[in-house]
Amino acid sequence: MLIRKSHLKIIQNYIGVFVACTVIACWFTSLFFLLRWNFEWTNPLVYIMIFIQMHLYTGLFITAHDAMHGTISSNKQLNNFLGYLSVFLYAGFFYNKLYNKHHSHHNHVHTEEDPDFAPHGFWRWYLSFMMNYVTIIQLVIMAIAFNVLKIWVDEKNLLLFWVLPSLLSTFQLFYFGTYLPHKGEHDNEHHASTLSKNHFFAFITCYFFGYHLEHHQKPGMPWWQLYKTK
């Protein structure tokens, strides 16, 4: 039994790294071709690709989130490297800062010490949420990256497929991963609600993080296994 458990842990390690690398590779490959695309504004595929790229951006952040819970790999250096990489590619964030804030959220959920919580409506809460995470250094990094990329990439492609999807992703992450599960009062210690069982909807909305109560109950479970809690 001990051998089987150790084998399962090794397999899960490999799967976790594979899933993380797949998400990063899909984001990069899609972005690479979109930035080179000589598109027409009348092509409906343009707008579909914006939302696909938004979903891939969300995947980057969810990958970093898994790293914060140590679920990508038991190899701490590899786990943290993939976390650093994912969150920096997402929007120039610094992993250590997000790590501390995220664990403050889990340890002090729905209190004044919870950096993700604000007793407001959607827009005020969203702005408070963003102000808690966005930094001047991050904005400088993104501004430099934008202007460097403009040397090789058409500005409209950058705005449409690099800037816009990342901004839309913040709404996706906030609405399905923070606002919807934590708004109002709840009768559980995690002050969280959960989506009804619908794995397809849960995946396309926020990589199963609509199953948010289950995530708080089992924070050591990676996103690609959260559906098993239903």
Residue 170 belongs to a domain: yes
Look up the domain containing 62 and give its range.
2-174
Q: Confirm whether 58 is domain-assigned.
A: yes
**Is residue 122 a part of any domain in this protein?**
yes
- Mean pLDDT value across residues 65-74: 95
CB atoms closer than 10 angstroms to residue 164: 15
Q: How far is it, in rounded angstroms, from Cα 188 to Cα 80?
A: 31
Calculate what percentage of the chain has a pLDDT beyond 90.
Answer: 88
Residue 146 has pLDDT above 60, yes or no: yes
Averaged pLDDT, 75-81: 96
Identify whether 119 is part of a domain. yes
The domain total for the chain is 1
Q: Is the pTM of this model over 0.85?
A: yes
Would you place residue 14 in the very low, low, confident or very high pLDDT band (cuts 50, 70, 90)? confident
Lowest mean pLDDT segment, chosen from 4-18, 72-86, 131-145: 4-18
* Residue 8: per-residue pLDDT: 56
Residue 212 lies in a domain: no
Residue 164 lies in a domain: yes
What is the reported pLDDT for 2? 44
The answer to whether 220 touches 71, Cβ cutoff 8 Å, is yes
Q: Which of 79, 87, 98, 30 is nearest to 58 (CA)?
A: 87
pLDDT, mean over the chain: 93
Query: What CA–CA distance (Å, rounded) separates 88 from 117?
Result: 23
Looking at the domain assignment, is residue 156 inside a domain? yes
Residue 39 within a domain: yes
Q: Residue 185 has what pLDDT? A: 87
